[in-house]
Each structure stands twice: as structure tokens, then as C-alpha cells.
Amino acid sequence: MKPDYELSSAEHEELHAVLSGIEEHPYRDYSAFSKAVAEIVESGRVPAFFVDVCARIRAERESESATIHLVRNCPIDESVPELDHDDPVADRHLKKTTFVGEALLELSARLLGNPLLAYARNKGSFFTDVVAINRYSGMLTGYSDSELFFHNDRTAHAVRADYTSLLGLRCPDGELIYTGYIDGRALLRQLSAEEQEVLRRPLFVTHFDVFSKAHNKDLSLSETHPILENGASFRYLDTMTTVAPDAPPEAKDALIAMKNAVVRAERVRHRMRTRDLLLFANQDGLHSREKIEITDPDSARSRWLLKTYAFRDEETADRHADKWIDGVRGLVAD
């Protein structure tokens, strides 16, 4: 995938210097961290080139001319520790003591007008590590070393992100691991009007992934839901979204049509590199993880992306205000 913008060495250093000056801890006091990032925006200390990059992305989203964007050579932490894959998140809390990557993601979300979303299962963190955990090896979850079929993040959950951002902290050069993306409008072009009508009805359910169920034993199956919503928003996890038990026969036909659409639709593929920032619509599209060629499995398992979930805008976030945990805006239950 061709980058929408690639920071020069000078731009990289200028933005890194601003972000590395933030002293607040995003995992101990997210509110203070977020306010510190807001302050560099309000004081005009964000380099003009990055303000412009985010303004262009925001404009393309609003005009619906693009739903996925790539910014290359972004600043990250100078030291990215090796993690223990038995419990890499706990290990990260011990070893990662600088937060340039987190600051970049928080800044991007603020400039794009996308309030961040967090889940209680991640200990309330607004920043998620996409990294392999040994006990989930080969399983269908983002915390595995496996491929991931086309999906939206948190398909089975009631509150889902409108946008997802991925920042490459460690992306081994020799391993060909690709993020695939299908724009929702490309899927629509593969579905007849009749099929779309059925997909817009609440005739489907989605099984929760193994990681969600491990953290909440009460989670098994979502409520009944449509697959197609709004203009071209899809709620779908391949192999895990199926027809509800009492759905009429046309629901199964529509589900088969949906599966065919995923195979036939035009897509883009991007191999994440270290310091890549990939931003895409989570609901207005589907994404995947493909392992094209792995030369060193241990190296491939060291891949580490930092992720954020975000709402479309302030108004969208406010619709979920009754779900905030302990009054923390954006923090919801699993």
C-alpha cells in the first residue's frame, strides 16, 4: 500500500521531540496523559506538517473518498523491549518506560476528532498491545500468532469502534505478514439489493472470540444483529458470524452471499513496517491478518503493534455515555 504521507528525517525528529516531552503515564493516569497531549495541541506546539496530514485524512473521511490511510516513518519509542510471550502485556508494564508511541496515537485521535474507546478487559487501557500470547497460539484472536479472517474488531460486542489505528513498534523485516482491508462499499457492489435487504435485518449472531471468553465467562454469543448497517457498515467476523437459530431460510442465503462478497471484493494489502501508522474504518470495512511467508517463526512472533479504538466523533461517543465505567469517558465493559 502506498503511503499517504511519509515523514522526512527532519519531520520525524521534530515530532519525536514534542511527543517525548510528555511526562505523564498513559497507563497509570490516562486522564492526565490525554490532557498533556491536548495541551500541546492547544498551545500550537504540534508541527504544522502533522496537523495538515491529519486534516487531510479527516477531510477524505468526511467526503467518503477514502476509509484507510497510511503515514510512514512516525516517531516511536527509542527503546522497544523484548517481551515475555507468556504474559507480554504484564511484561510491557514492567519494561516499557517511555510512551512516544502512545502519545502519537493520542495526538492523532485528537487531531482527527476521534475520541478513544477502551475495554475493561484490557485493564481499562486506551492503548492495546497487538502481540502474540503463548496460550492463544493458533487460535482465532488478535493475541495469537495465527492468521485472522476478515472481520471488524469486537464484532460480538455491543460497543464497537468506528476507527482503528495500528502503529508498528516492532515489525520484523524478513517476515511477510500483511494486513488486508476491504472497503464496505466494495462489499456492497458484490451484493444484490435483495441480499442487502436481508443482511440489514437482525437475523444473525456472532460468537465471542476466545480471548473475550477467557476474561469473561458469561460471554458466549452476541445478541441478534444485522450484518449490514447504515450506508456501508458491516458487523461480521468470518467463520464466527452465523444465522440466528430461528432465522428464516433467506438469512442463510444472504450469509452465503456475504461470504462470497468477501472473497470477490476488491481489497488492499499492507505489510506493516516499524514506524508505520495505519488508520482505517473498523465498521465501514473489514480487515484481516495474512501470513504470506514466514522464514523465522520466533521472529514473526515478536511482531508488536500498538492499537487504539476510536469513535467517529464526540456525538457518537456521547451516545454511549450510560455505559461508561466509573465515569471514565470512553471506558466500557466487555
Measured torsion, CA atoms of residues 57, 60, 66, 69, in degrees rounded to the nearest 10 = -10
Between CA 34 and CA 31 the distance in angstroms is 5
Would you state the cell numbers that stand for residue 325, as one nine-digit string?
465505567
**HSE toward the beta carbon, residue 120, CA cutoff 13 A:** 13
Would you state the cell numbers that stand for residue 227, as one nine-digit string?
450484518
CA distances in angstroms from 170 to 79, 108, 140, 219, listed in the order given: 10, 20, 21, 32
Q: Are 159 and 321 in contact (CB under 8 A)?
A: no
Between CA 171 and CA 272 the distance in angstroms is 7
Q: Which helix (H) or strand (E) holds 183?
A: strand 176-183
Q: How big is the CA angle at 304 (ends 303 and 309), to the nearest 5 degrees? A: 135
Would you state the cell numbers that stand for residue 15, as one nine-digit string?
515530532
DSSP 72-129: ES----S------TTSHHHHHHHH----HHHHHHHHHHHHHT--EEEEGGGTT-SSEE
Give which of 56, 48, 103 is closest to 306, Cα–Cα. Answer: 103
Residue 308 bridge partners (DSSP): 165
Would you state the cell numbers that stand for residue 255, as one nine-digit string?
450469509
- 151 labelled ligand-binding: yes
- Residue list, annotated binding site for Fe cation: 151
Residues comprising the binding site?
151
